[in-house]
Amino acid sequence: MPSLGADMDAGTLRAWRRGPGDEVVRGDIIAEVETDKGIVEVEVYASGVVERLLVEPGTKVPVGTPLALIRAASEQTTPRVAIEKPRIATSVRSSTPSARKLARERDLDLSHLRGTGRHGSITRSDVAAIAGSVELAGVHEPAGTRLRASPLARARAAVLGVDLRRVEPTGRQGVVIAADVDRAAKAPTRLSAAEAGTQTGMRKAIAAAMARSKREIPHYYALHTIDMEPALEWLRDRNGERPVQRRLLPAVLFLRAVVLAIRDFPELNAHCDGGRAEPSEAVHLGVAVSLRGGGLVAPAILHAERLNIDQLMSEFQDLVLRARAGQLRASEMSSPTITVTSLGERGVEAVLPVIVPPQVAIVGFGAIQTRPYVVDEKVVARRLVVASLAADHRVSDGHRGGKFLAAIASRLKEPKEP
Amino acid sequence: MSQSVPLRPSDRDGIRRVLIESLSYVAPEADGSSLQPTADIREALDIDSMDFLRYVTKLHALTGIDIPERDYSSVSTLRGAETYLALRLGVT
Amino acid sequence: MTAATATYREAVRSGIRRAIQQDTRVFLMGEDVGRYGGAFAVSAGLLEELGPERIRDTPLSESAFVGAGVGAALGGMRPIVEVMTVNFSLLAIDQLVNSAAALRHMSGGQLSVPLVVRMATGAGRQLAAQHSHSFENWYAHVPGLKVLAPGTVQDARDCVLAAVDDPDPVIVFEHQLLYNVQGTLDDDAPVADVWHAAVLETGTDLTLVTYGGSVPKALAAAAALRSEGINPEVVDLRCLRPLDWQTIIASVTRTHRMVVVDEGWKTGSLAGEIVAGVVDRGFYELDAAPERVCSVEVAVPYAKHLEDAVLPSVSRIVEAARKVMPRHG
């Protein structure tokens, strides 16, 4: 409400001369206002498009009250406004080449866009503004797909081994905060639920997978006795220099040897569905982990081929800890491309393992035991391990399987830094 | 998460407390205090080499003593571990 | 012990008096600091007390008398130069940035500039755009300068004494709104370590980082927050260059949330530097995006209600603090 005289402090809106959607130019008569001195025509003091009328005719309002909202010609229209006014689509509007190019790149329909260029032509910045709004509105990235977690929550989740995707967020805008991670870490894990009674569920799962394996997969087996002296001496020297937190376990040497050897036997690092094997570029190394209180899981160390031996050790440790805490990730459960089982811990000499479908091979290691062994025609005491392979005969033959075990053996005979 | 502050035990009781805490860290469901002092804890608690490594790591964290691999056999029973830690800590 | 109630103004005056009495090389100069007693009455009575040799009125030329201060410092004196407000200090910024800050470096360490420049800063007294801006960040940007901004009565005295004691140029910012604030002044206490931040109140939920004239606002906001169950820690930076990252990071490591209150404009502000530094040094300690409460980016208006709307206020600090807290916090 403009001041139409030094003594005026309020005015009554009598009538609107223009309505929403009308273009107005500075100086146009837009409304009639009644003051103590009579009816006065009100000029508009900004050019643009009337977006909204804010005061009903007949209403008395104080000086300074906004009467209408005018969008200036220089202001970019919002997509909301543009979409509300589809009639613009019927009028042919020109657009600049770079605007059209950007629209093609972003897959946007220009016919719904109101331009801010000369004569209403659509400029690149119009398209960019719309593209930006579209992205902000989440069209390119549907809401909820990207995990939002605070830096502290991420750091804490990594330490506690909590899967952030399984945490109920309480932060603003659905952000997972540290307290949420703490709560999730304290919540009963799936393992304790298993202990409480769904143990039979895990048993059933193992039963189903193993029965399917034995029913469908024609297994063949191969064994290879490996002299572990060089590897264990190397390990002793290496661990001797390291604090306890950075020591390696013999089991990691087995894992490392399998990862290195499998490179030359891609057909064994594969999934087989419906009789056709699909070799995998990545080595997602399944590790059979026995759970305290019974049961077994074989989650994967993802991309084991990218890890040096220290990284492999820490991933292995992390995986076993989380497996036993019931905090495995779905991706780790479904992705192994070959599995290693090491029953040596329980003292058995050798293991004849069962392939986990849809994988096509599994490598076993027995206990490292001191046994008589022939070296240079003499019987000597050596520490030995029996490595075993069970593989799918539809995919590979015993000859290849034997060579694979020999490759593992040669890696273990010449241990070295990655 | 209970964070243990490294507190070097200064007597036999302290050492025993550290041992029990380290064992219950790797085998929370086990009752460390009812273990036979001469039993091999790997057998008695059914723990594997990784859990044994965590047990040794925990002992290190609680006492500050780095236990080399060649001494693992010395800490594989409660009595052996107590004697070993007492010696290393200079506790009589 | 002689702890007594005093105003911030009296504390600054006490620091100047003591510095002059302790060291014959120290003197005060500036516009109207003598006969008039200082534009903010900081030096009232000092001319009579200490004499015209030590309390010197200067012509109205910031470039000239700040330059004279640089020269006096080079010549072995320990001048305290008063510039009326930080707005006017821009007329002397060449002397401060191109000369005082750089001379030790340019002379290969042969020259020291033990100069203290005190100036009033900030808004809140309806002195409009000519006298109300906060340019602390301009000086805190410059290597070779040290910048102090006392926010309490005791620090007001200690900052003067610490600055006079320093072998390099030190800028001391005194917020206009603080001069009449009363607090405890222990005139016999040893000079505090004002080069490091002070944790004024400990808390667990978020860290309010602030300095100078925003300190009382942050303390008032902290009290309001406590009444709604949010427990903030209040860090008074005191020294704006060099910044005390250790104290800031230690606090954020305790609380994991931060609101910075800075009367400067947000763009290119000290508040921005503090957020960036915390992200550099403590990213994985943050449990929420830090908030900044700064002045609205306009020239500070004259009208009271507009000036109030532009400046950081207790309610805006409280609002920002709520924003960094979790929904159910």
Tell me how close the Cα of A181 comes to any Cα of chain B, in angstroms.
12
Asked if residue C230 lies in contact with residue C205, where contact means CB atoms within 8 angstroms, the answer is: yes
Same domain, C162 and C237: no
Percentage of residues of chain A with pLDDT beyond 70: 81
Where residue A159 sits, what CATH number does that domain have?
Answer: 4.10.320
pLDDT confidence band for A95 (50 / 70 / 90):
confident
Contacts of C256 in chain A (CB under 8 A): 150, 152, 178
Same domain, C19 and C123: yes
C285 touches chain A (CB under 8 A): yes
Q: Count of CB atoms within 10 A of residue C142's CB?
A: 19
Residue A298 identity: A
pLDDT confidence band for A64 (50 / 70 / 90):
confident
Same domain, A405 and A340: yes
Per DSSP bridges, beta strands C55-57 and C26-30 are parallel
pLDDT at C16: 98
Looking at per-residue pLDDT, the higher value among A21 and C329 belongs to: A21
The first and second tokens of residue C24, run together, are 């014959």
CB contact under 8 A, A152 and C285: yes
Secondary structure class of A372 (helix, strand, coil): strand
Across the range A205-225, mean pLDDT stands at 88
Size of interface A-B (CB pairs under 8 A): 38
Span A310-335, pLDDT tens digits: 999 999 988 888 888 777 776 677 67
Tell me how close the Cα of A216 comes to any Cα of chain C, in angstroms.
49
pLDDT confidence band for A38 (50 / 70 / 90):
confident
pLDDT at A80: 37
* Peptide bond just before C312 cis, omega within 30 deg: no
Across the range A31-54, mean pLDDT stands at 81
Residues in chain C: 329
Span C76-100, pLDDT tens digits: 999 999 999 999 999 999 999 999 9
Tell me how close the Cα of A277 comes to any Cα of chain B, in angstroms.
34
Tell me how close the Cα of B92 comes to any Cα of chain A, in angstroms.
25
pLDDT confidence band for A88 (50 / 70 / 90):
very low
Span C249-276, pLDDT tens digits: 999 999 999 999 999 999 999 999 999 9
pLDDT at A37: 66
pLDDT at A146: 72
Same domain, C158 and C208: no
Q: Count of CB atoms within 10 A of residue A225's CB?
A: 17
Asked if residue A224 lies in contact with residue A386, where contact means CB atoms within 8 angstroms, the answer is: yes
Residue-averaged pLDDT of chain A:
80
Same domain, A277 and A170: no
From residue A20, alpha-carbon distances to A28, A78, A201 in Å are: 15, 16, 65
pLDDT tops 60 at residue A86: no
Across the range C137-147, mean pLDDT stands at 98
CB contact under 8 A, B46 and A292: yes
Looking at per-residue pLDDT, the higher value among A139 and C248 belongs to: C248
Same domain, C224 and C268: yes
The Cα–Cα gap between A82 and A89 comes to 9
Tokens 């609680």 identify what position? B62
C305 touches chain A (CB under 8 A): no
Where residue C271 sits, what CATH number does that domain have?
Answer: 3.40.50.920
Secondary structure class of C148 (helix, strand, coil): strand
Percentage of residues of chain C with pLDDT beyond 70: 99
Contact exists between B and C (3 or more beta carbon pairs < 8 Å): no
CB neighbour list of residue C8: distance below 8 Å, 6 or more residues apart:
C150, C152, C153, C156, C174, C178, C179, C180, C181, C182, C183
pLDDT at A141: 38
φ/ψ (deg, to 5) at C52: -70, -20
Number of domains chain A is built from:
4
Of A244, A317, A345, the CB nearest to B60: A244
Span C203-231, pLDDT tens digits: 999 999 999 999 999 999 999 999 999 99
pLDDT tops 60 at residue A89: no
Same domain, C169 and C223: no
Q: For C32-50, give the DSSP string.
A: TSSSS--TTSTTTTHHHHH
C280 touches chain A (CB under 8 A): no
- From C165, C186, C207, the end of a domain falls on C186
Same domain, C123 and C149: yes
Q: CA A342, A345, A347: angle at the middle one, nearest 5?
A: 110
Looking at per-residue pLDDT, the higher value among A165 and B67 belongs to: B67
pLDDT confidence band for B36 (50 / 70 / 90):
confident
Asked if residue A282 lies in contact with residue A337, where contact means CB atoms within 8 angstroms, the answer is: yes
Residue A397 domain-assigned (yes or no) = yes
Percentage of residues of chain A with pLDDT beyond 90: 27
pLDDT confidence band for A75 (50 / 70 / 90):
low
From residue C80, alpha-carbon distances to C39, C156, C161, C258 in Å are: 15, 14, 10, 36
Asked if residue C170 lies in contact with residue C163, where contact means CB atoms within 8 angstroms, the answer is: yes
Q: Which residues of C are catalytic?
A: 62, 131
pLDDT tops 60 at residue A194: no
ipTM of the complex: 0.76
Lowest mean pLDDT among B29-33, C162-166, C315-319: B29-33
Residue ranges making up the domain that contains A349: 200-413
Secondary structure class of B70 (helix, strand, coil): helix
Task: State the burial class of residue A253 (Cβ atoms within 10 Å of its Cβ: 0-12, 13-18, 19+).
Answer: buried
Number of domains chain C is built from:
2
Asked if residue C44 lies in contact with residue C50, where contact means CB atoms within 8 angstroms, the answer is: no
Residue A193 domain-assigned (yes or no) = no
Asked if residue C27 lies in contact with residue C55, where contact means CB atoms within 8 angstroms, the answer is: yes
Residue A363 domain-assigned (yes or no) = yes
Lowest mean pLDDT among A41-45, A148-152, B54-58, C150-154: A41-45
Span B3-31, pLDDT tens digits: 445 567 888 888 888 888 888 888 877 77
Cα dihedral across residues A226, A229, A230, A231: positive or negative: positive
The Cα–Cα gap between A202 and A297 comes to 9
Size of interface A-C (CB pairs under 8 A): 37
pLDDT at B11: 85
A interface with B, Cβ–Cβ < 8 A, is: 160, 182, 185, 236, 239-240, 243-245, 247, 249-251, 290, 292-293, 316-317, 320, 345
Same domain, C207 and C62: no
Same domain, A95 and A41: no
Residue C193 domain-assigned (yes or no) = no
Same domain, A229 and A257: yes
pLDDT tops 80 at residue A292: no
Please give the sequence-ordered ranges of beta strands (E in DSSP) within A177-218, or none if there are none: none
CB contact under 8 A, A151 and C285: yes
pLDDT at C160: 98
CB contact under 8 A, C283 and A151: yes
Span A137-164, pLDDT tens digits: 433 333 445 788 999 998 888 777 777 8
Same domain, C158 and C221: no
Where residue A21 sits, what CATH number does that domain have?
Answer: 2.40.50.100
Secondary structure class of A223 (helix, strand, coil): strand
pLDDT tops 80 at residue C318: yes
Across the range C119-132, mean pLDDT stands at 91
Same domain, A65 and A84: no
Same domain, C145 and C47: yes
Across the range A371-381, mean pLDDT stands at 91
φ/ψ (deg, to 5) at B10: -110, -5
Across the range A5-27, mean pLDDT stands at 82
- From C153, C186, C219, the end of a domain falls on C186
Tokens 């911030």 identify what position? C8
Same domain, C216 and C181: no
pLDDT at A93: 59
The Cα–Cα gap between A342 and A255 comes to 10
Per DSSP bridges, beta strands C232-236 and C198-201 are antiparallel
The first and second tokens of residue A288, run together, are 């059979």
Contacts of A251 in chain B (CB under 8 A): 49-50
pLDDT confidence band for A199 (50 / 70 / 90):
low
The first and second tokens of residue C165, run together, are 């004691």
The Cα–Cα gap between C217 and C151 comes to 11
Quickly name the fold that domain B19-89 has: 1.10.1200
pLDDT tops 60 at residue C185: yes
Residue-averaged pLDDT of chain B:
82
Residue ranges making up the domain that contains C287: 198-324
Same domain, C178 and C212: no
* Peptide bond just before C242 cis, omega within 30 deg: yes
pLDDT at A78: 45
- From C186, C207, C241, the end of a domain falls on C186
Where residue C79 sits, what CATH number does that domain have?
Answer: 3.40.50.970
pLDDT tops 90 at residue A136: no
Identify the DSSP state of C212: G
pLDDT tops 60 at residue A197: no
Where residue A351 sits, what CATH number does that domain have?
Answer: 3.30.559.10
pLDDT tops 80 at residue A247: yes
